[in-house]
Amino acid sequence: MARVGLIVNPAAGRDIRRLTGGASVVDNYAKRRVAECVLAGLTLVSEPPSVAVMPEKVGIADHVVAEAPPDLTAGTLDMTVEESAADTRRAAAHFRAEADVVVALGGDGTTRDVAQELGDVPLVSVSTGTNNVVPSPVDGTVAGAAAAVIATGIVDTDTVTYRHGRIEAVADDVTGEKRLTGLASIGIVDRPFVGTRAVVDPTELLGGVVSRAHPSDLGLGSVAGCFGVIEPDAPGGAALRLGDPDVTPRSATALVAPGMVTTVGVERHDTLDWGEPATFEVTDCVIGADGEREVELVDATVELTPTADGPRLVDVDATLDAAVTSGTLVRDGTARANR
């Protein structure tokens, strides 16, 4: 039987940007409803795939499995729950070997954690987080339908998925080598401590590298997008070196965070190829991935390099278009007419 993995991150969208900015709120009830819709969408096909849901301690998975459509085989993964990002990575590692496609509910951080362990398994990333550059703002029912079509082999997966880039950070500071991986962006923040993790003050951004760019991409991607669009599956990326807009040669008015439109000074903007690093010399700072501060650095050399080995993302619209072309969504007679 075809198999679908479902990851719902209950911690997504709960950082300080809910208070200091204009980030929307997706509470656990809303996530549960989206997850229920995902399972409903799986019944689009005549023989729905089975689904396994990542467990957590707030009851989303248990409720979704209990309320699953009657002709859908659903259960929870047998795994330890730590209530941390390790849960997401552990579930993704399981699904790498056991699932035909995975649906993940969360933001950029959740997608990044899933991508680190999922390998070549297609991923439908649904935005229910704070930073939602990579995840798609798609209805859960539609996401489930696309997952069902891919899992059951109705469409050629290679034609409806694309490889998203990622960024590798390698920093050599006074304590040794440190590494970090990002999907949409890795930024350098002018402050000595990680603190609340969320990047909420755009004036603290010193620069960084993006794997994609568009004015609608919140954060560094929006700044880079003002200079030129980089599609999610385009090769390479762009490096930005930022400063005071009153003294830099150029500036960009960008969407730097939810609810924040800011004019940012741009000292340099450079396009990068796959494997081409941008080097930054820093003193006291933090590097962050996809809008979240992660690693503290002192007197460091930082290399940020766009690479081509990011997650294999599903183009939901292209998937359902291909399903229509295949003719499998239309059947003679009254079979499954009440679905």
User: For 118-170, how does the pLDDT look when each residue is reduced to its tens digit (9 = 90+)?
Assistant: 999 999 999 988 778 999 999 999 999 999 999 999 999 999 999 999 999 99
Give the pLDDT score at 230. Answer: 97
pTM: 0.90
- Better-scored residue on pLDDT, 11 or 300: 300
> Quick one: tokens of 25?
């709120």
How much is the average pLDDT of 15-28? 57
Regarding whether 318 and 297 lie in a shared domain, the answer is: no
pLDDT at 195 over 50: no
Regarding whether 269 and 282 lie in a shared domain, the answer is: yes
What's the CA angle centered on 282, arms 177 and 289, to 5 degrees? 65
pLDDT at 99 over 90: yes
pLDDT single digits (tens) 239-275: 999 999 999 999 999 998 878 899 999 999 999 999 9
What's the CA angle centered on 42, arms 11 and 316, to 5 degrees? 75
- Extended beta strands in the chain, E state: 3-8, 50-53, 74-76, 101-106, 123-127, 161-163, 166-173, 176-182, 185-189, 205-210, 237-243, 250-257, 260-272, 278-289, 292-307, 312-314
What average pLDDT does the chain have?
90
Count of C-beta atoms within a 10 Å radius of residue 85: 16
Query: Residues for the chain: how many in total?
Result: 339
Worst-scoring range by mean pLDDT, 5-9, 203-207, 278-282, 293-297? Answer: 203-207
Helix (H) or strand (E) holding 32: helix 28-41
Regarding whether 189 and 176 lie in a shared domain, the answer is: yes
pLDDT at 14 over 60: no
Q: Which residue has the tokens 């003002």?
A: 226
Regarding whether 243 and 204 lie in a shared domain, the answer is: yes
In whole angstroms, give the CA distance from residue 256 to residue 223: 7
Domain containing residue 50: 3-163+311-326
Q: Which residue has the tokens 């991150």?
A: 9
Give the pLDDT score at 293. Answer: 81
Q: Which residues contact 248 (CB under 8 A, 6 or more apart)?
A: 242, 265, 266, 267
In whole angstroms, give the CA distance from residue 230 to residue 236: 9
Regarding whether 44 and 15 lie in a shared domain, the answer is: yes
Regarding whether 181 and 152 lie in a shared domain, the answer is: no
Give the pLDDT score at 177. Answer: 95
- The answer to whether 222 touches 199, Cβ cutoff 8 Å, is no
Q: CA dihedral in degrees (322, 326, 327, 328; nearest 10)?
A: -90
**Does residue 295 form part of some domain?**
yes
| Nearest C-alpha neighbor of 288 from the set 181, 212, 214, 216 | 181
Total structural domains within the chain: 2
- The answer to whether 8 touches 61, Cβ cutoff 8 Å, is yes
**Does residue 202 form part of some domain?**
yes
What CATH number does the domain containing 155 carry? Answer: 3.40.50
- The answer to whether 287 touches 173, Cβ cutoff 8 Å, is no
